[in-house]
């Protein structure tokens, strides 16, 4: 029986976080893998958000080991559906296919609705990311085809620019 918990970030998370973000398979649906410096900056932003708001992108800890992250955040761009709260996740490859992402993300959804009183949580991914889309659907998110969009932080003409939008209402 695995023990999955969501927690704040620790300095010791940087090495496994940077390794996960440098893994080309993990980052397949992002414009590029992240450098160690980009991972460090991202980790710092995530913890600062938690410190300021009491919620955010938490570490997914499996039996005391860094497995990735999941949680809630406000997007860093404007679109026809912002402002909003988004759920996101990313797991190191060795933790794929074990139900960990579902369990961790489900905890974040419950917190969003029950702890924060949110009426809706959104999620999105590149069109071809079938794994994330299946997880969204398993979590009860419903695709909003009218909300599909070209991600403004991905350059025009990039094959990952087109994104699908999913919504879950309380």
* Total of domains in the chain: 1
The count of other CB atoms within 10 Å of the CB of residue 30 is 16
Query: What is the pLDDT averaged over residues 156-164?
Result: 94
Give me the pLDDT at residue 1, please. 59
Residue 122 structural domain: 4-169
pLDDT in tens, 50-81: 999 999 999 999 999 999 999 999 998 999 99
pLDDT in tens, 87-131: 999 999 999 999 999 999 999 999 999 999 999 999 999 999 999
Q: Cα(82)–Cα(94) distance, rounded to whole angstroms?
A: 34
Q: Beta strand 86-91 with 149-150: parallel, antiparallel or unpaired?
A: unpaired
CATH number of residue 147's parent domain: 3.40.630.30
């Amino acid at each position: 029986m695995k023990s999955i918990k969501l927690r704040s970030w620790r300095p010791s998370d940087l090495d496994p976080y940077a390794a996960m973000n440098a893994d080309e398979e993990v980052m397949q649906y992002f414009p590029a893998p992240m450098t160690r410096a980009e991972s460090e900056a991202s980790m710092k932003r995530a913890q600062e958000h938690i410190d300021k708001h009491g919620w955010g992108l938490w570490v997914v800890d499996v039996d005391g080991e860094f497995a990735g992250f999941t949680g809630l955040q406000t997007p860093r761009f404007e679109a026809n559906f912002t402002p909003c709260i988004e759920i996101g996740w990313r797991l190191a490859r060795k933790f794929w296919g074990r139900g960990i992402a579902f369990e961790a993300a489900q905890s974040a959804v419950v917190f969003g609705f029950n702890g924060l009183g949110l009426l809706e949580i959104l999620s999105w991914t590149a069109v071809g990311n079938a794994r994330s889309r299946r997880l969204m659907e398993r979590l009860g998110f419903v695709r909003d085809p009218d909300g599909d969009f070209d991600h403004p932080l991905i350059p025009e003409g990039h094959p990952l620019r087109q994104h699908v939008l999913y919504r879950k209402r309380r």
